[in-house]
Chains A and B, each alone.
Chain A
């Protein structure tokens, strides 16, 4: 699987959009981009995934660049409950394993 690079931490103001970048320059054509998050003392939670088109669900939007070498997770209106570690991973769709790196620690401030 391709590796990803994320900033170690970022702050965000409550009510503002949080834009979380992820670099995956070695992604291959059959690999998807997934985002999970892990709130303190909880298990990881799926957020969204995509291949090459932008995706949106009730939690977030995923913007993938045309060359697929990077992506951005957007939390449109961050709340204090969005404070968590966010993991960007890439994997082949039929691979059942999840493997997280260090992720980005996002702190939403009032």
Chain B
């Protein structure tokens, strides 16, 4: 089974802090994704990576950056956390860029106070 793990299930940070969310997948997938999920707004793509050191902006990249130094690991960085970044963050991976199936991690619920 594909396993996608995320570094934390719950995280509380203060406004202005730098925040790192890490995601690891164990199935040698080329493609990895970071989404955020908010009530009333649904699931939205922040960034996508299709190879090591390669990335594309999603629908809401502002305030975020990403890093992919190794194939299995994809990090989401909040350079200066703000309260409007309080959300559920979901990492996913897929074998092909447009695979019908994306495999999701359990999510990190981030609260910025």
Which residues from chain A sit less than 8 Å from chain B, CB to CB? 32, 34, 41-46, 49, 93-102
Contact of B42 among A43, A94, A95, A101 (CB under 8 A): A101
* Chain B: number of interface residues, binned into ranges: 20 to 34
Q: Least Cβ distance of B60 to chain A in Å? A: 11
Chain A's closest residue to B91 (CB) is A43
B31, B35, B40, B43 — most chain A CB neighbours (10 Å): B43
User: Are B58's CB and A97's CB within 8 A?
Assistant: yes
User: What would 25 A/B residue contacts be, using CB atoms closer than 8 Å?
Assistant: A32-B100, A42-B106, A42-B107, A43-B90, A43-B92, A43-B106, A44-B92, A44-B102, A46-B103, A49-B100, A93-B98, A94-B98, A95-B98, A96-B31, A96-B94, A96-B98, A97-B48, A97-B59, A98-B35, A98-B43, A99-B42, A99-B43, A100-B37, A100-B42, A100-B43
Residues of B bordering A, CB below 8 Å: 4, 31, 33, 35, 37, 40, 42-45, 48, 58-59, 90, 92, 94, 97-107
Interface of A is mostly: loop
Question: Bound state CA distance, A75 and B107, in angstroms?
Answer: 25
B101 neighbours in A (Cβ, 8 Å): 46
Contact indicator B106/A97 (Cβ below 8 Å): no
Interface SS, B side? strand
Q: Compute how far the CA of A102 lies from the CA of B94 in the bound complex, rounded to whole angstroms.
A: 23
